[in-house]
Structure 1
Amino acid sequence: MKKSSSRGTLAGGLIAGLVIVTGLTGAGSLSARATGTPPPESTFFSTANAQESSTIQSSSDGDLWASCWADDGNLYAANGDGKGFSTSGPSSDIAVSRIAGTPGSLTGSTLATGNAISQTWTAGSYNRKPTGMVCVNGTIYLAVQDLSTSFNDAPAATVVKSTDHGVTWTWDHSAPMFNNHVFTTMFFADFGQNSANASDGYVYVYGLDNNWRTSFDGSVPNPTDLFLARVPSTSVQTRSTWQFYTGTSGGTPTWSTNIALKQPVLHDDRTIYPSLINAGTHNLTVLGQGGVLYDKPLNRYIYSSWTEYTYEFYESPSPTGPWSHFLTKDFGGYPWTQSKNGGYATTIPSKFLSSDGLSMYVQSNVCSCGGAGTSVYNYALRSLNLTVAPTAAATNSTGSTNVAQTPGTVPIERVAHFANNSYYNDGNLTNSEDDWNNEHKSGDSSWWGYTWPRQYTINKVVYTTGAMYPDGGWFSSNVRVQVRHGNTWTDVASPSTVPAYPYSSAAGTNASYTFTFTPVSGDGVRVIGVPGGSSTFTSVGEVSAYYSTGGFTVQGAIATKYNSSGGAAGPEGGITSNETTTADGIGRFNTFQNGAIYWTPNTGAQMVYGLIYSKWASLGYEQGVLGYPTTDETSDPLGRRSTFQNGYIIFNSSNGVATAYRSNGTVI
């Protein structure tokens, strides 16, 4: 479905500028780019494709859903604030359910709720929240924290256990295992069914201090460090046997029972969305309550984290690291819809991991109590598909193949406002997607492109714009092509763009710009630049990529016109295509760095270039309302002018705008 002509409207009548978040302030004046020091980018994965929404939902009620795959083959999960799978029963701040089946056919039953599972340790407005679950030796352990009803601090936590598959639970009622906001958001490493893939006799537990995510009111410091503990599987509830990661010695991890000596296995102090267009949550840190999956087929650990608007994924070859970041999935500012939504408390259940380790499901939730405009308040899944970075060199040969349409291609972008990233390579140049996300973006913060599970050599990219709007849709500066190799994005060499990109709304709706450059190999390509307009976003209709044959030539009347105008040193610049027949079969044309020369038997060969060419292109070239050019560009009292079969275009040199007119003088 195409986007509405009004950029601010989503299907179903939701207004894109509307945010309903009680008690939150508006945007500040900080830069829109993430600040802080990120971990290195992963070189292990090549493509990572997370669905735009939770497409698999269940007849359940609640959020969080920390889970484990038990020895009896079932999945056990603990939810917060809901009824679990007993949707007709009373709601509780915590419940445990048994879940059977596979994605698409999940069923469940609630086993225990409330005080039967744990207790609250902190006086005042605090509830119990599940944060992690593991099954080992047939026993299920559940980490439960005290979380303020404002969701902004977590002062205490403990571990409860069940030896009868979730029906009854026991714990030390005298004191929590952790307090003073230290290590109070715990989630266990998931080593598969009944922890069968664990390599030693320990249970590994990751933890955050202070809170489960950014503290929106500043009650406590935001989590920027992920810590790790290990405990013998026979004494998980014995606090004195817990050992905390303290660093390395000679490359070997070191551990201590003294929690004060703990050191992070992952530090990421980035903050994102510092400045919003409309009021909403901002200045978000990227580490939060999630899960760590051991992906045995790949021998990789995957940490799934989140922010208010994004998923954040990390990978490591060991529990202690080194951890690398491999994907930010940005869902944009509110409102969301059922077809585009992120979520919180992201986990990846090992039960649903494919045999090759490349396909899995992410569980997360969206609460109707927030400002998202939609709700995913049940046990809900979406797919995450990965490919490992290629080691083989590119082998594609020159030709007309659009490698953006090859199998395994994954579209990439800053954010897909309407979740239509299939538009980029579907061959339909009249579609439109954009990356509006309610953020004041700055710098090179807008891009459209692809990653591949293999390397390709390319030397040409054709970028077709989407719709133009009063508040954005175009690049404001520095638009260019980058190719990725070894997960490093690099500007292409010797670039040229035809026609020249105008850096304004004059870029036009569904207008194509061809970037040519020195051939280069990589496993990703993108068109990137600074977004324009008051709402700082760009749009896209299509992105194509080729390894095309060089050595273009001109001939006949087009060659005569080109050479008489100065050739490559003239207004058209260098040749960028061979002579081509127009769609109606009447004319012929060549494209050049700055425009084109069109020929028909009736009009002869005529040059069109610069912003006049861009304007004509935005109207459909010779198939549009103006038809073929009938004169070269000439002087005009306002600047420059080109005449066409059904009108003319004037470039106003005083304001830099090209305007199209019908033959009767009315503006098109």
Structure 2
Amino acid sequence: MPAVVRPRRRRTFTRTLASAALALGLAATAAPLASGSDAPARGSGAPARPAVSPPASDFFATVDVAPGATVGAPAVGDNVNHGDLWPNCWSDDDHVYTAYGDGVGFGAPMSDIGVARIEGMPGSLRGTSLSQGDAVGQVWNAEHTRKPTGMACVGGDLYLAVQDLAFDFNDAPAATVAKSTDHGRTWQWDRSGPMFPDGLFTTVMFLDYGKAYGNAPDGYVYAYGLDHNWRDSFDDSVPDPTQVFLARVPRAEIMNRAAWEFAAGSDSAGKPVWSADIARRKAVIEDDRRVYPDVYTAGRAKNMSVISQGGVVYNKPLGRYLYTSWTEYTFEFYESPTPWGPWRRFDAKDFGGYPWTHAKHGGYATTIPSKYLSADGRSMWLQSNACPCGGGVPAGDHWSYTYSLRQLKLAPATSSAPDNPPDAARNLAREPGTVPTERVAHFGNSGFYNNGNRTESEDDWNDEAKADSWWGFTWPRQYTLDKVAYTTGAMFPDGGWFARDLRVQVRQKGVWKDVSQLSTAPAYPYNSSAGPHRTYELSFAPVAGDGVRIIGAPGGTRTFTSIGELEAYRTR
């Protein structure tokens, strides 16, 4: 296969959406856990300080996120189930129910909010619009619009959280919950006032406990919430979300605001303390990291917070709660053994700066519908939306601004002793279960740099002035290794090589550690003469781990590196 030719990069970007009908049009991409910034929240006036963030998790050995959506629901006219957000739940009739913003759903009239039913499984989905507009919820504040943020299927009843969102996205002052007893056709709610006023807990995301809430361990329905906005406001005077709160309510009392309780910390035994006073709530997840603190293209989104409207699902086979969040360019993943924690970051997926392609794109409003979980919990479908406005996927893309799914595969870490003997011909990068890991794959081609073809090329250009680039693999078990062979990809006028500090790291118990006694042959030149398609053997003292990567500072005026192939061996 010939080397990939990189398209001409687009230099323009419009951050303000052209229409309120495309109200969430920004997508996600995430960098591995090493990414982020210690910058304080914008507009806070606070001095720089270390970021508050959950620790990295070692629960999963491999995390494999598809580079783009591959499955959707059926087309309606020229659109594919047009709309965004799509919070969802699995009801007693075996169908998934979902709500969309600013769209036509499945052929319904254009509306700021609507409800639909999704039948079938990925690959054979069928969608039906059920209700929309004033039949679903109301606007409590002038110059605001309705947005669905969470759904719960409890027995045969449906519950939908609806927030008021300002047209400029900088204010979400109110939210309420509507109920349907006829599977989404009609809805009722307290019309005297919002359930959650004053910008507190106004982005409500119900915990997905499986079919008809059947996996819940008790008689409560749980909901996570963000205060105020659901994503970066791009206004320094408006606080961005950094905390996730948790509430619970008895199943029979969901519509009774007085019955709601909020997690307010924990007791001496580590059990959650619950309070009816919303003012006493304490975050169960707090993460004020910033990603993409510096980008090259003027006007592009940067320095973004990582907590956003997404979803939390209980993966019963794995005994894990999974929170899926996003930023403009990244997906952000968290896991916990209980609804209240301790939560840890287990991965991030970076899709890079715009322009994206049909095959590689991030998204927003990320959820994992529980119906599509495999029996062993290791395979699932991640739902997200991408907008063609503002530089996302190309206009007319089959998966843009739709209910769209991509595969997510997780392999839990297991205790294993490396038993691979010395074998200079056994390329460990091609062992069963190998999953690539990189800072970002510009074209989404992370699958080919262990296929034996050294003439291909991928790079990690992402429009970011970044400090590190890496290319590597993770495995579902441990191996002993002492050499990697790195073949460069194409070289470009503005980058493609490492500028300094090229080294090898091996992952042990979730932590990447530098190897010892490293030598490189031939010597790596740290400039564009490193390639194209030259192979460097990096040898080191034998070490065991369940992942390996090369890492260093990227070079060129746009700070990126390239790769054609990466191999790993145990030679002695």
- TM above 0.5, yes or no, is yes
Distance 2:70 2:311 in 1: 20
What amino acid does structure 2 have at the position aligned with 1:392? S
- Which residue number in structure 2 is paired with residue 312 of structure 1? 332
Is 1:176 matched up with 2:194? yes
Distance 1:215 1:172 in 2: 29
Whether the 8 Å CA contact 1:475–1:538 is kept in 2: the answer is: yes
Residue 216 of structure 1 and its aligned partner are, at CA, apart by 1.3
Q: Note the alpha carbon deviations across 1:416-440, whole angstroms, 9 max, x for none.
A: 0011112210100011100000101
Residue 32 of structure 1 and its aligned partner are, at CA, apart by 8.5
- Which residue number in structure 1 is paired with residue 392 of structure 2? 372
Is 1:210 matched up with 2:225? no
Is 1:296 matched up with 2:316? yes
Distance 1:143 1:129 in 2: 8
Distance 1:21 1:320 in 2: 38
Residue 4 of structure 1 and its aligned partner are, at CA, apart by 4.3
Distance 2:36 2:122 in 1: 37
What amino acid does structure 1 have at the position aligned with 2:352? G
Residue 219 of structure 1 and its aligned partner are, at CA, apart by 5.0
Residue 18 of structure 1 and its aligned partner are, at CA, apart by 2.9
Is 1:120 matched up with 2:139? yes
What amino acid does structure 1 have at the position aligned with 2:37? A
Residue 105 of structure 1 and its aligned partner are, at CA, apart by 0.6
Trace 1:549-588 onto structure 2 (pairs within 5 A): 549=572
Whether the 8 Å CA contact 1:496–1:515 is kept in 2: the answer is: yes
How has the CA–CA distance of structure 1 residues 122 and 2 changed in structure 2, closer, same or farther, with 3 Å as cutoff?
farther
Residue 16 of structure 1 and its aligned partner are, at CA, apart by 2.3
Q: Note the alpha carbon deviations across 1:566-618, whole angstroms, 9 max, x for none.
A: xxxxxxxxxxxxxxxxxxxxxxxxxxxxxxxxxxxxxxxxxxxxxxxxxxxxx
Distance 1:463 1:4 in 2: 18
Residue-pair matches, total: 531
Whether the 8 Å CA contact 1:245–1:254 is kept in 2: the answer is: yes
Whether the 8 Å CA contact 2:427–2:569 is kept in 1: the answer is: yes
- Which residue number in structure 1 is paired with residue 128 of structure 2? 109
Distance 2:123 2:83 in 1: 18
Is 1:518 matched up with 2:541? yes
What amino acid does structure 1 have at the position aligned with 2:401? Y
Is 1:536 matched up with 2:559? yes
Of structures 1 and 2, the larger Rg is shown by 1
Distance 1:455 1:22 in 2: 45
What amino acid does structure 1 have at the position aligned with 2:130? L
Q: 2:59 aligns with which of 15, 29, 44?
A: 44
Residue 377 of structure 1 and its aligned partner are, at CA, apart by 1.2
Identity over the aligned pairs, expressed in percent?
56
How has the CA–CA distance of structure 1 residues 437 and 401 changed in structure 2, closer, same or farther, with 3 Å as cutoff?
same
Q: 1:389 aligns with which of 413, 416, 427?
A: 413
Q: Note the alpha carbon deviations across 1:248-284, whole angstroms, 9 max, x for none.
A: 1111110100000100001100011111111211110
Q: 1:457 aligns with which of 471, 480, 488?
A: 480
Q: 2:459 aligns with which of 425, 434, 449?
A: 434
Residue 33 of structure 1 and its aligned partner are, at CA, apart by 4.9
- Which residue number in structure 2 is paired with residue 503 of structure 1? 526
Distance 2:9 2:381 in 1: 28
Q: Note the alpha carbon deviations across 1:46-72, whole angstroms, 9 max, x for none.
A: 000010001112221101001000001
SS of residue paired to 1:109: strand
TM-score, scaled to structure 1: 0.78
Q: Note the alpha carbon deviations across 1:363-401, whole angstroms, 9 max, x for none.
A: 101112322142511110000000011201111111020
- Which residue number in structure 2 is paired with residue 145 of structure 1? 163
Whether the 8 Å CA contact 2:16–2:390 is kept in 1: the answer is: no
Is 1:157 matched up with 2:180? no
How has the CA–CA distance of structure 1 residues 310 and 32 changed in structure 2, closer, same or farther, with 3 Å as cutoff?
closer
What amino acid does structure 1 have at the position aligned with 2:152? V
What amino acid does structure 2 have at the position aligned with 1:123? A
Distance 2:323 2:183 in 1: 26
SS of residue paired to 1:143: strand
Distance 2:524 2:36 in 1: 24
SS of residue paired to 1:260: helix
Is 1:419 matched up with 2:434? no
How has the CA–CA distance of structure 1 residues 2 and 242 changed in structure 2, closer, same or farther, with 3 Å as cutoff?
farther
What amino acid does structure 2 have at the position aligned with 1:468? M
Is 1:270 matched up with 2:289? yes
Q: Note the alpha carbon deviations across 1:149-175, whole angstroms, 9 max, x for none.
A: 122221110000100000000000010
What amino acid does structure 2 have at the position aligned with 1:304? T
Whether the 8 Å CA contact 1:34–1:270 is kept in 2: the answer is: yes
Q: Note the alpha carbon deviations across 1:428-473, whole angstroms, 9 max, x for none.
A: 001110000010112xx20000000011000000011111111100
What amino acid does structure 2 have at the position aligned with 1:63? D
Q: 1:65 aligns with which of 71, 77, 86?
A: 86
- Name the structure, 1 or 2, with higher relative contact order (CA <8 Å, separation 6+): 2
Distance 2:245 2:3 in 1: 44
SS of residue paired to 1:404: helix
Give the 4+ runs in structure 1 shifted more than 3 A.
1-5
Distance 2:360 2:534 in 1: 27
RMSD: 1.4
Distance 1:262 1:396 in 2: 51
SS of residue paired to 2:449: helix
Residue 511 of structure 1 and its aligned partner are, at CA, apart by 0.5
Is 1:17 matched up with 2:10? yes
Distance 1:33 1:209 in 2: 22
How has the CA–CA distance of structure 1 residues 178 and 484 changed in structure 2, closer, same or farther, with 3 Å as cutoff?
same
Residue 342 of structure 1 and its aligned partner are, at CA, apart by 0.3
Whether the 8 Å CA contact 2:284–2:340 is kept in 1: the answer is: yes
Is 1:55 matched up with 2:70? yes
TM-score, scaled to structure 2: 0.91
SS of residue paired to 1:525: strand
Whether the 8 Å CA contact 1:152–1:218 is kept in 2: the answer is: no
What amino acid does structure 2 have at the position aligned with 1:496? S
Residue 513 of structure 1 and its aligned partner are, at CA, apart by 0.6
